[in-house]
Structure 1
Amino acid sequence: MSRKNMLIIVLLLIGIGGMIALEGYIKPRAHAQAIQYEAEQNDPMTHDIRNSLSFASPYMGNAGNFINLNASLPLREIGRTFQLYPEEQTAELRFQAVAGALKEEKLKEFLLYNSTANFVMIDNLEKLIFAFEDQVFSISRDKVETWYGSTESLASLRDAKTWKTEVQSRLQDAEYVSDYVEKLVEQQEAL
């Protein structure tokens, strides 16, 4: 066999070996990591807030920004619609799910995490309503600002490290989360 043919065979074997490694190991591993990352983004305890920081806005009237912000936060897999009430500076998210079907602790974590994120990222949002098929939860900015005791504004929580220490790490304390929901969230049955 000539050197040229030998070189072609070696290159072919290297190509086949590379293809087997790519299809049999690298792609499945990358796919598994992507699935794991997506699952982490759907849990307030492991969510990476840096993905949501680009949606910070001084005004709630930017509907696309509001949609994308909430699509980047936990519970994004649940279908929803939204309604903005600019005169009252209120936003309502209408979830196509029953709140009672969610684990109570996860629902409370969601209410704390997502409401805080919305008020932190949208400067003039004064009230946020999470409407599920069976229950409606309302949260106001002034209560959230008082809760965090931010001397400047909630916008100071836009730093990823500050967010992790002031918001996310406190989700591990079930009493803290329950206090937030009991003191800040108004709850009523859906009509």
Structure 2
Amino acid sequence: MTIKNKWIIALVAIGIIGFVIVEGVVNPRIEAKHTQYEADQQHPMTHDFTALQKYHSPYMGDFSNLSHLNQALPLHDQLNGYQLYPETFTAQVNYSLDTSEMDKEDLEQILVYNATANFVLIDNLEQVVYQFEDTSHALSREAAQQWAGTELKALQDPVQWDSVVRSKLEKPAKVQEAFSQIVDN
């Protein structure tokens, strides 16, 4: 066997070993991290708020931005369209979900989190209506700001967001209190 053939065999062996390592170790680890990240995005306490910063907009009429923002929030897998009401600065977010299928506390926590994120990142949005198959909930900017106890613009900073919003949503009693304060209906 010539040196050239030995080099070819060595390079093929290295290629095969590299392929096995990438497909057998590296890719499964990347996929596991991605799967865990996606699972974390379904709950307000583990959701990555910093990923939402790119959706900040001064106008609720930017439908594409509003759509992408809500597709990055918890319950995004149940989204079923939107309706904008520019005369009242209201966005209706439709879900293909019966609320009886969810734990009441989890639903309330998600709605407060999602609505607050919408108000923080869309400057002129005044009300969000979450329409489910069996009910609807309207949440207002003014009530969210009173609940937060600070200007909503200040919550664009992820540290502020965590200290104000997440800390107020940690305990079940605080979730119920927040939901009853923010919901208009």
- TM-score tier, shorter chain, comes to over 0.9
The equivalent position to 1:163 in structure 2, one of 161, 179, 182, is 161
SS in 2 for 1:52: helix
Matched residues, percent identical? 40
* Structure-2 separation of matches of 1:154 and 1:109: 18
The equivalent position to 2:183 in structure 1, one of 175, 182, 185, is 185
- Greater displacement, 168-177 / 46-55: 168-177
Misfit runs of 4+, over 6 Å: none
**1:25-174 correspondence runs (5 A):** 25-150=25-150, 153-174=151-172
In structure 2, the gaps of 5 or more residues are none
Q: How far apart are residue 118 of structure 1 and its match?
A: 0.6
For 1:80-138, what per-residue CA distance to the aligned partner results, in whole angstroms no more than 9, with x for missing partners? 11111111111111111111111112101111100100110111111110010111101
* Structure-2 separation of matches of 1:4 and 1:59: 66
In structure 1, the gaps of 5 or more residues are none
Q: How far apart are residue 58 of structure 1 and its match?
A: 1.1
* Structure-1 separation of matches of 2:6 and 2:168: 64
Which one-letter code corresponds to 2:68 in the other structure?
N
* Structure-2 separation of matches of 1:184 and 1:157: 16
Cα contact 2:147–2:181 (8 A) shared by 1: no
* Structure-2 separation of matches of 1:157 and 1:80: 28
* Structure-2 separation of matches of 1:179 and 1:146: 12
What is the aligned partner in structure 1 of residue 174 from structure 2?
A: 176
- What is the aligned-residue RMSD (CA, Å)? 1.2
* Structure-1 separation of matches of 2:166 and 2:149: 16
The TM-score, its normalising length taken from structure 1, stands at 0.92
Q: How far apart are residue 79 of structure 1 and its match?
A: 2.9
Q: How far apart are residue 15 of structure 1 and its match?
A: 0.8
How many residue pairs match? The answer is: 185
1:169/1:2 Cα in 2 relative to 1: closer, same or farther (>3 Å)? farther
* Structure-2 separation of matches of 1:119 and 1:132: 20
* Structure-1 separation of matches of 2:141 and 2:24: 51
SS in 2 for 1:81: strand
- Greater displacement, 72-81 / 1-10: 1-10
* Structure-1 separation of matches of 2:148 and 2:23: 49
SS in 2 for 1:120: helix
* Structure-2 separation of matches of 1:171 and 1:7: 62
The TM-score, its normalising length taken from structure 2, stands at 0.95
